[in-house]
Every structure is written in C-alpha cells, then in structure tokens.
Structure 1
Amino acid sequence: MNVTAEELDALQELINIGVGRAASLLNEMVDSHIRLKIPVVKVLTAADAYKELTTRFHDQTLASVKLRFTGSFHGTASLIFPTDSASTLVAVLTGEDPSADLDAVKIGTLSEIGNIVINGVMGSLSNVLKRHVNYTLPVYLEDTLENLLLSAYESDSKILLAQASFTIERLEIIGDIILIFLVGTFDALIAAMNDEMGIIK
C-alpha cells in the first residue's frame, strides 16, 4: 500500500500527540525541562530504513529499547539512540556522572524512557483510531543497526520511521523512534486511520 501525503501528515500528527504526552510524563519525573519533537516521519521498507539510518549512525553501537505489540496491529516499536546520547540522557535524568559505570542504572532508566515514549506513541494511535493494542515489557539491547533492524525483519517489512529530537535544557540529544509493523498489519493501520480521521483516498 502506498501512503499519500495526507496520510503521512496524519501519521505525523498522531505521533506528535503521543510524544507530547510522553514529554509531559518525563517532565514530571525529572527537574529538567524536556521537549520531544518529531521533525520527520517516513514510511520505508526495512532495507531502505537501514540505508537511511546508516548515514546517521554509521557503524557505531546503538542503544535500543524494544517493545512488541499485538492486538489490532502486530509488530515491534523501538526507541534507538547512539550510545553516547543514551549515556548523556541517563546522566541528565539521574544526576550521575556520565563517565561512571552505570550499566544497571542506564538499562533501567532507558527502559523506562523507552516504555514511556513508545507507549505514548502507540497509545495515541490506538486511542484515536479506537483499536486495542497489547504490549510486552520493554527489552534493552546494545547492538549494531544491522543486527537491530535487518536481522529481525523481512526486508520488505513496512517501517514507520519517526526521527525524534530530544531537547533537555539546551542539550540536543537525537534519537529515532522506529515503529515496525509486520507486513499486512500496516495496511490495517492506514485503513483504520482513513476510517476514523475521514481521510479521502
């Protein structure tokens, strides 16, 4: 299914609602003011998403929080950071020295952030579209982009790629929210969005 410009705008609107809610929750957790902004939303195959993200992340190891979801839509949602951005984010949120060995703290903190952001986005999609979605517990991984993306999915899987910009008290931290829908389910998402939001093909 090809996605129209109007459908892409609607997807971006729904994702922005979700990250707005997530930012509000994160602001309640910490003293720092956090803004989450989604400047780019694209629909790509897994292979094309890999090519695009490789130019941003190169071959470095990435930090990823992954949740699987089932129900009206089936797939996986991931929040991906460069590991240095992840360490900086954890340091700002916890007040710990970013150079310290914070493995347990980092995993716990990033898993919670991923849980909040992904649930915010998926909650926005399911609430507006009136569809039920169940989630697994978040899983934290550090691996290459190839292993995080290409090894787990068919090359023609539809990827809803949302590039998230995190601003924390003048500190720019870049991450990507990657929503991965299994083939066939993505069409159900677009059909539900057209139905509930009155988008005319």
Structure 2
Amino acid sequence: MLDLDPLQRDALSEILNIGVGKSAQAMSQLVGEEVLLSVPEISFMTVGQAGAKLSRDDKRLYSVRQSFRGVFGGDALLVFPEDGSRALVRSMAGDAVPEDQLDGVMGDAMTEVGNIILNACMAALAELFAQPFETQSPLLHVGTARAIIGARAQNHAVMFIHIRFVLHESNTEGFVIFIMNTTSLEDFKAAIRRFVGDALPPAAMH
C-alpha cells in the first residue's frame, strides 16, 4: 500500500518518535507524574483492516478526531479502549474527582489528551515536510471501531501508529490513526521522498 524504502520509513518513524516524546512531556505535566510512551510502531493498511484491528473484543472505544489539510489532508484519530481511557483519566483526576463522578469528566479529559497527542504528531509532520497543517477543533466520539472510524471507503489508506502509555498505576495502549484518500496518500509519499532526498548528501543519492 505504501511503498516506502527503509530509509524513508526510518525518517518517518524518527520524526514521529520525536513528536510522541514531546507529547509525553506535556502528558506528564497534565497527569502530575512521569508518563512513558513507547517508540511508535507504524504500519499501513486500509480503513477496513484498521477497523478489524481495533475491534478485537468489540468493546467501546474513546476516539478524538481532528481533520487536517496541508501537504496532504485527512483525519487524525487518537483511539483508546474504554478501560484504558478510564485508567488514564483516573490518573489525571487524582483524588479531586470521586469514582462515581468520573464519567462526568471523561469527555473533556480525553479530548484534552487527544489534543496534546494529535497536535504533537501534526507538529512533527509539519517539521518533516517543512509545511504547516491547518487543523480543525478535535471532536470526541465514543462507540465501536466501525462507528468511530466512520463510513469512509474501506480501501482508503490508513497510517496506523501503535503507542503504549505507561503510568505509575496503569499500562494501557493507544492508537493514532491517519486516514487519507488516494490523492492524499500519493501526496504523502511524495513529501516523504522529497524530505529524504533533500536530507541526503549528493554522493549518497547515486
């Protein structure tokens, strides 16, 4: 689906890892303790395959969606299983919010988490491509994988990023998903190739 060579994949992985690292710092301030994020695992698939990967147990998911446009366009989503979302919000709320009131703050808290992580990823991509992205306000969705991904064409491209979040009392996993149509996918590939070509010294390109 995305014919990147090893050098291009390494460049993409490294810049996203930098973005995730910056979001970990912001998350640590928000939670009040150190948040460790794993090195992002990047894979490419279709919308249909991404939906199947997310719906392993058919459980409810929390998703923050942010539309964007620039050198390529689409939708960026941060997705957490419901139990992982509760653990994360519990850590954020601390003793200030009783357990029976946690549901009331889940939406705002997860939107804030999504805003931090998605903006960090978008900033990293903007640095990679040396062009800014225009983003819309993040929107929260709760439901099954099919519901949160939406009714997009099942063969649209997805950049699927798997990240593990480790806090003192919880270890959960989240997913960052970039959904792109065919035109955006080609623009994305071209931008990565230009970046790698510009970064290489002339002798390395022969």
- Kindly indicate whether the alpha-carbon contact (under 8 Å) linking 1:45 and 1:159 is maintained by their aligned counterparts in 2: yes
Task: Work out the CA distance in 2 between the residues paired with 1:83 and 1:174.
Answer: 11
Contact 2:87 2:170 in 1 (8 A): no
Give, in angstroms, the shift of residue 133 of structure 1. Answer: 0.6
Report the alpha carbon displacement of residue 51 of structure 1 after superposing the two structures with TM: 2.2
Q: 1:34 matched to which residue of 2?
A: 35
Which residues of 2 match residues 17-166 of structure 1 at below 5 A?
A: 17-55=18-56, 58-96=57-95, 99-149=99-149, 151-166=150-165
* Mapped partners of 2:132, 2:123: distance in 1: 9
C-alpha distance after superposition, 1:69-126 (max 9, x if no partner) = 1222211011111111101100101114674233342111110110110010111011
Q: Which runs of 5+ in 2 are unaligned?
A: none
* Structure 2 Cα separation of the partners of residues 121 and 175 of structure 1: 14
Give the RMSD, CA atoms, in angstroms: 1.9
Point out the structure with max Rg over C-alpha: 2
**TM-score calculated relative to the size of structure 2:** 0.88
Partner secondary structure for residue 100 of structure 1: helix
Distance 2:132 2:70 in 1: 6
Give yes or no for contact 2:128–2:195 (8 Å, CA) kept in 1.
Answer: yes
Equivalent position amino acid for 1:131 in 2: Q
The amino acid of 2:145's aligned partner reads L
Counterpart Cα distance in 2 of 1:13 and 1:152: 31
CA contact under 8 A between 2:62 and 2:79: conserved in structure 1? yes
2:180 corresponds in structure 1 to: 181
What TM-score results when the alignment is normalised by the length of structure 1? 0.90
Looking at structure 2, the residues matched to 76 and 98 of structure 1 have their Cα atoms a distance apart, in angstroms, of 34
Structure 1 runs, 4 residues or longer, greater than 6 Å off: none
- Structure 1, unaligned stretches of length 5 or more? none
The alignment-based identity, stated in percent, is 27
Alignment: residue pair count: 197
In 2, the alpha carbon distance for the partners of 1:47 and 1:179 equals 13
The structure with the greater share of residues assigned to strand is 1
1:177 deviates by: 1.0
Q: Distance in 2 between matches of 1:98 and 1:147?
A: 30
> What's the CA shift string for 1:10-48, capped at 9, x where partnerless?
222221111111111122223210011134210111112
The AA in structure 1 aligned to 2:19 is G
